[in-house]
Structure 1
């Protein structure tokens, strides 16, 4: 199962991020379309994302509501309810079905996998979270035990849309890629 995490407060953006549009579609919907090519998909919402919930209801997209107390707490809730799963943040609009396939194939259901990119693949205009020499991306496999880095190769995974400037950049990239 793939769970799209779409329940955050969007404090840096100041707006409900999952439904912000890129190339005419809500950002999370680009992710959903790729994820559903690979596995069953569920959207994790909270009280912080009522418009995203409305979109899911309108479009018949399956969702679950979390407490919205924070990323780690919500992940723990989802793990308790569904067991091991693949997670992706609703603000990583350029994740591809092939990225999901790679992490799904490597996931044994026991050890968590944290999606990372070698810094050499990160486009120069982006400022991702860096840990132990890698850019941390919003695609992971969640399990009960341990954690390992899982190296991905899609450089656009480094774009996590958290600010209005990053949303503008995502819109420019979507035009280059022919979205819409």
Structure 2
């Protein structure tokens, strides 16, 4: 199962990120469509995201409401409710079905996988969260025991849209990707 995390407060953006549009499509839909090519998908909402709930209802996307007490608490709650799962942030519009497939293939259901990208693969315009020499991406596998890094190659996984500037960058990238050839 893939769970899209879409219940955060979006304090840096100032509005619900999952419903913001990138190339005329809400970010949640970009992620949902790719994830849906690989596995069953559920969107994790909270009281912080009423517009995202409306989008899910309108589009027929299955969702569950988490307690909304914070990222770690919601992940723990989801793990208790569903067991091991693949998690992805709703604000990574350029995640691909192949990225989901790769992490699912590597996931044994016992050891958590933290999605990372080698820093040399991160485009220069981005400022990702760096830990132990890797950029942390919002695509992970969640289990009860331990943790290890899982290295991706898709450089656009490093674009986690948290600010208006990152949203504008995502729009520019989307226009390049979707441009007629």
Query: How would you bin the TM-score normalised by the shorter chain?
Result: over 0.9
Distance in 1 (alpha carbons) for counterparts of 2:59 and 2:161? 23
Distance in 2 (alpha carbons) for counterparts of 1:7 and 1:43? 9
Distance in 2 (alpha carbons) for counterparts of 1:138 and 1:79? 17
User: 5 Å matches for 1:17-166?
Assistant: 17-166=17-166
Distance in 2 (alpha carbons) for counterparts of 1:60 and 1:94? 22
Secondary structure of 1:126's partner?
Answer: coil
Q: Which runs of 5+ in 1 are unaligned?
A: none
State the TM-score, normalizing by the size of structure 2.
0.98
Q: CA deviation at 1:73?
A: 0.3
Distance in 1 (alpha carbons) for counterparts of 2:58 and 2:98? 28
Deviations along 1:62-95, one digit per CA (max 9) or x if unpaired, are 0000011100000000000000000000111100
Q: Which runs of 5+ in 2 are unaligned?
A: none
Q: CA deviation at 1:58?
A: 1.1
Alignment RMSD (CA, Å): 1.0
Deviations along 1:130-171, one digit per CA (max 9) or x if unpaired, are 000000000000000000000000000000000000000000
